[in-house]
Chain A
Amino acid sequence: MIFNSIDFAVFFPTVFILYWFAFNRNFKLRNIFLLLSSYAFYAFYDWHLLPLLFGVSFSAYIIGLGLERTDSKAVRRFLLFDGVIILAGTLAVFKYYDFFSEGFILPLGISFYVFLSLSYIIDIYQRKMKACSDPVDALLTLSFFPILLAGPIQRPVSLLPQIQKKREFNYDLAAGGLRQILWGLFMKLLIADNCAVYANDVFANSDTYGGSTLLIGAALYTVQIYADFAGYSEIAIGISKLLGIELMRNFAFPYFAKDIIEFWRRWHISLTSWFRDYIFLPLSFFISRRIPSEKFLGINTDLVIYIVGICFTWLLTGLWHGSNYTFIAWGLFHGSLLIIYHVMKKPRKKLLKQLHIRHDNLFIVSFERIFTLFAIIISWIIFRAENLHQAGSYISGIFSSSLFSKPEFAGMRRINPVLIFGIIFFLLEWAGRNDSFALEKFGLKWKRALRWTFYTALILCIYFFGNFSSAVEFIYFQF
């Protein structure tokens, strides 16, 4: 069941009403109901995969209990090792089997709920949280339906306490949730799915288009993947708010970032921070303990640690997305950008100082923003391409003499609404860039009639100009 389906429009109001009205007296019963709803939500897509979801979350629950009940370092290590092997192994089997054999179906959301379960056991091992002894609360934390299919990869350390306490209805939270859902639908149906029409066409026929069209196609995909995935995250967070549960933010206007490090602080925050906390930092500490000297092979040890940590983490980040060399190349491309930025940070500062230019100079900041965005666009070409060969020819096609030719699309006339709503989208995002999502505070001080007129207009825009024809699924469902 996807969020923008009729099935969900029937499912969620039913869950909402029963949750707040029928099970409002007994919060244990409420959690049981929410757990069953989560299973129903997942089973609706394919009930054969329900045992897998249950198996993953139940394994994490049992291992968590085991970790909690022993103080023996060796036993705890053994349990953690077992848990990681079981969970990561399950993910690897389902996700990478088709490296070798075609036709293997990837269970929906597996990358997300396995990472959630991994967080749970690692956090218990690191004593950041206590294991939950109540199976319902634990399983609900690891199978909560709004985050089941494509995240955010919520940390159990913040989700579990919310599941365990009695939740009271909060008007502001719920109203904010509704606004967030509306914004998510706007992003997905109006922006992402309209961009998809042109981006898909350009990528499918990349060998026939000139450089300017290829560049615009890549830019449209850049908008599409953001609006698609961030749109999904906004809907998931909004739905969760309606149930009285606050989730972590997953996107923070990433394309407004002025450098690549800032971009990764703003893009898919739940995954990036997951890799930072569970891979990059532990690996960096591990290496630093083993290289006591200040220099290693003549290079500053900190830099060596950073390079090794970044390369390994970004290789895994690429692999997380699936069994295609394009994802690995995409991960390593970003890793390289981060290393280059890291290496250039001090010389840049020094150069600006010598030239008596402030680091926040408008021209410099604008140039860096555009440069960062361009690097990101190139990276999305690698990510979106069918294979490395297509990625290579697509990028070389952009940097050809036809870059300055007139762009040409199939159905060019119909691109006008995309441009108009693209501009509205950009302006609203810019206006709300200091909030957690564009509509969080936008228009809140207006009179209610005006505000509701604005929301109604958004709904009508989605209805009349959204792209429903090709039933485009959320991009991150494939991961």
Chain B
Amino acid sequence: MNKFIRHTVYFLLILLTLNFILYFIGKDLYFGHYADHSLEQKAYLLSDSHGQALNDFAEKYGVHNFSYGSDSYEDMSRKTLFLIRNVEVNTIFISVDEHSLTSYRERKNNLDRSIIYCEPEDLGYYEYFKQRYVKHYIPFFRPEVAEVIKIYKLPSDKKPVLWVSRSAEDKMNRAVKRVKTNFPDEDQSDALKLSLLNIIDLCKNNNIELIGIKFPLSKEYLEAAEGKTGVADELLMMNGFKVLDCTDLYIDQPEFFADQDHLNEEGAKDLVEKIFSSD
């Protein structure tokens, strides 16, 4: 038994060393920007990558962009609760895009990152400890770190190509592929619906104005996504909140897009002016 313990401890020390290396490489890459936020405003934008593209351009209108790529309604629900606990919030802008309730978004989310905005009682102590500390400090239990390291640390020969300069066929192919990813099936996630309803309740109970935004999409994406609808916007409207539908705002302006469904800097600045300056 002693030999086994000795060898196990030695081997675990090797793994521990690797763990530390992975932790320090992965910490900033995977986690760093997710924790960035400001609590100085009274209005917040909660969204996935579509809202994240707006960067901090809305800050001048008193709106802090609290969005992050792949955020699901469960992540946004955690952030809403965090805001309510820590700051006086008047308005929350939330994305209600068609793909917000799909099984794709249920699978691809930031639950392991948005845990930082939770309190132990939100999840139960064991689950909180597991998510907040075990997964955080042991990257071997967080394979997403490996994914991020592979993306950022391994050399890539890919060069960014402007959306506007792509051929019509290439644009269409990319749009179709993206729609397939966003809508893998016809299912609407019950778990995400519950999270959105939870956000609605939180806003109602705390006198927060909730405004839905449907972000602009390229002509090609809209064509490819014909007939793909979600119910997030309807849920908001049914509860008396308004929805700003910007889906086809730039349908003839491909120069405003970074890809088939994300705005570039120019497009983001224009959208901010259109939404927040008149709000």
Q: Is A169 an interface residue (CB 8 A)?
A: yes
The contact of B140 among A10, A455, A463, A470, by CB within 8 Å, is A463
Asked whether B1 lies within 8 Å of A456 as measured between CB atoms, the reply is no
- Would you call B123 an interface residue if the criterion is a C-beta within 8 Å of the partner chain's C-beta atoms? no
> Does the CB pair B18–A20 fall under 8 Å?
no
The answer on a CB contact under 8 Å between A460 and B18 is yes
**Binary per-residue interface labels of chain B (136-165) against chain A in the complex, 1 for a CB within 8 Å, 0 otherwise:** 000011011011011000000000000000
Residues of B within 8 A of A452 (CB): 11, 14
A464 lies within 8 A of chain B by Cβ? yes
Complex-state Cα separation, A7 to B140, whole angstroms: 14
- Asked if A231 lies at the interface with its beta carbon under 8 angstroms from chain B, I say no
Residue of A nearest to B131 (CB): A6
Chain A residues closer than 8 Å to B3, beta-carbon distance: 171
Contacts of A469 in B (CB 8 A): 107-108, 143, 147
Question: Per a CB cutoff under 8 Å, which of A10, A169, A455 touches B4?
Answer: A169
Tell me whether B87 is interfacial, beta carbon within 8 Å.
no
Tell me the count of chain B residues lying within 8 A, CB to CB, of chain A: 23
Interface contact B15-A459, CB-CB below 8 Å:
yes
* Bound-complex Cα distance A9 to B135 (A): 12
Cβ of B130 under 8 Å from chain A: yes
Give the CA-CA distance A174 to B7 in the complex, in Å. 12
Minimum distance in angstroms from B78 CB to a CB of chain A: 20
* Band of interface residues on A: 20 to 34
- In the assembled complex, B204 has its CB within 8 A of some CB on chain A: no
B227 CB to nearest A CB, Å: 18
By the criterion CB–CB under 8 Å, are A466 and B141 in contact?
Answer: no
Contact A463 B4 (CB under 8 A): no
Q: A6-B141, A452-B11 are in contact. Are A175 and B107 (CB under 8 A)?
A: no
A74 lies within 8 A of chain B by Cβ:
no
User: What is the CA–CA distance of A456 and B140 in the complex, to the nearest angstrom?
Assistant: 12
Q: Which A residues lie within 8 Å of B1 (CB)?
A: 20, 169, 171
Q: Does B134 contact A (CB under 8 A)?
A: yes
Over the window 20-42 of chain A, the binary record of Cβ atoms lying under 8 Å from chain B Cβ atoms (1 yes, 0 no) is 10000000000000000000000
Interface membership of A410, Cβ < 8 A: yes
**Least CB distance, B185 to chain A, in whole angstroms:** 9
Which residues of B have CB within 8 Å of A464?
Answer: 146, 149-150
Chain A residues, Cβ within 8 Å of B4 = 169, 171, 174-175
What is the CB-to-nearest-CB distance from B261 to chain A, in angstroms, rounded to a whole number?
A: 18
Number of A-B contacts (CB under 8 A): 42
- B residues within 8 A CB of A169? 1, 4
Chain A residues with CB under 8 Å of B14's CB are 452, 456
Alpha-carbon distance between A50 and B135 when the two chains are bound, in angstroms: 29
User: Does B274 lie at the interface of the complex (its beta carbon under 8 Å from any beta carbon of A)?
Assistant: no
Within 8 A of A (CB), among B162-184: 177, 180
| Chain A residues closer than 8 Å to B149, beta-carbon distance | 464
A456 contacts which of B15, B143, B144, B146 (Cβ < 8 Å)? B15
Most chain B CB within a 10 A radius of its CB, from A169, A410, A456, A464: A464
Chain A residues whose CB sits within 8 angstroms of the CB of B147 once the complex forms: 469
Give the residues from 1 to 39 in chain B that come closer than 8 angstroms, CB to CB, to chain A: 1, 3-4, 7, 11, 14-15, 18
A468 interface hit (Cβ, 8 Å): yes
User: Residue-by-residue, is B234-254 near A (CB-CB < 8 Å gives 1, otherwise 0)?
Assistant: 000000000000000000000
Report Cα–Cα, A466/B140, bound state, in Å.
12
Chain B proximity of A351: nearest CB distance (Å)? 52
Q: B residues within 8 A CB of A455?
A: 11
Output the least CB separation between B163 and chain A (Å): 21
Bound complex: CA of A115 vs CA of B202, how far in Å?
Answer: 50
A9 and B18 form a contact (CB under 8 A)? no
- Cβ distance A22 to chain B, nearest Cβ, rounded Å: 14
Instruction: Look across to chain B and name the residue whose beta carbon is closest to the beta carbon of A463.
Output: B146
By the criterion CB–CB under 8 Å, are B18 and A468 in contact?
Answer: no
Q: In the complex, what distance in Å separates the CA atom of A10 from the CA atom of B107? A: 24
A456 and B18 form a contact (CB under 8 A): yes
Given contacts A171-B4, A174-B4, contact A468 B143 (CB under 8 A): yes
29 residue pairs bridging A and B, Cβ less than 8 Å apart: A6-B130, A6-B134, A6-B135, A6-B141, A9-B141, A10-B130, A10-B134, A169-B1, A169-B4, A171-B1, A171-B3, A174-B4, A175-B4, A175-B7, A410-B177, A410-B180, A452-B11, A456-B15, A459-B140, A460-B18, A463-B140, A463-B143, A464-B146, A464-B149, A464-B150, A466-B143, A469-B107, A469-B108, A470-B107
For the complex with contacts A6-B141, A456-B18, A459-B140, 16 further pairs of A-B residues with Cβ separation under 8 Å are A6-B134, A10-B130, A169-B1, A175-B4, A175-B7, A410-B177, A410-B180, A456-B14, A456-B15, A459-B15, A468-B143, A468-B144, A469-B108, A469-B143, A469-B147, A470-B107
> What are the 10 A-B residue pairs with the smallest beta carbon separation, nearest first?
A468-B143, A169-B1, A464-B146, A171-B4, A6-B141, A463-B146, A174-B4, A171-B3, A6-B130, A6-B134
